[in-house]
């Protein structure tokens, strides 16, 4: 026969397991992103990397001031495109492809500008 203390201990263990399960479910629900949210995070991360690449080119002298201005302008246009695409709260597959291509072109432009043998004056 179970004593009162054994019963209480069992009930506490059960309650703890239930609480842990609920907490885990809540955490999982918060980290589950919709496809649009994943796309937005991917775009934002890539924009940040491209901005860092431009800054690295300025720092090491492989980008001139004119190249930097042109590339920064292109990044600003991509940001505006992103805002327009995400305005309705939904990103279609076609819109995601348009965004991806714009970033691909910008990445290509960054690489070409950094390796075109033009150097910033120091």
Is 33 in contact with 41 (CB distance < 8 Å)?
A: yes
Residue carrying the six token digits 């009930």: 11
pLDDT the model gives residue 21 = 74
Buried b / exposed e along 66-95 (16+ C-beta atoms within 10 A): ebbeebeebbeebeebbeebbeeeebeeeb
How many whole angstroms separate alpha carbon 30 and alpha carbon 25? 9
pLDDT the model gives residue 9 = 72
User: Which two three-digit tokens encode residue 69?
Assistant: 């201005």
pLDDT the model gives residue 115 = 92
Burial class of residue 99 (count of CB atoms within 10 Å of its CB; 0-12, 13-18, 19+):
buried
pLDDT the model gives residue 38 = 84
How many whole angstroms separate alpha carbon 68 and alpha carbon 77? 14
pTM of the model: 0.70
pLDDT the model gives residue 14 = 72
How many whole angstroms separate alpha carbon 70 and alpha carbon 43? 20
Walk along the chain (122 residues) in steps of 10 and give the mean pLDDT of each run: 67 72 65 80 93 94 94 96 89 92 97 88 70
């Amino acid at each position: 026969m179970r004593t009162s203390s054994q019963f209480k201990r069992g009930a506490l263990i059960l309650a703890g397991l239930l609480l842990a399960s609920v907490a885990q479910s809540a955490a999982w629900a918060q980290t589950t992103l919709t496809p649009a949210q994943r796309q937005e995070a991917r775009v934002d991360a890539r924009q940040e990397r491209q901005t860092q690449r431009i800054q690295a080119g300025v720092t090491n002298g492989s980008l001139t001031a004119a190249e930097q201005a042109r590339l920064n302008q292109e990044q600003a246009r991509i940001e505006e495109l992103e805002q327009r695409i995400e305005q309705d709260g939904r990103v279609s597959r076609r819109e995601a492809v348009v965004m991806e291509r714009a970033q691909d072109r910008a990445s290509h432009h960054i690489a070409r500008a950094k390796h075109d043998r033009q150097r910033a004056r120091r």
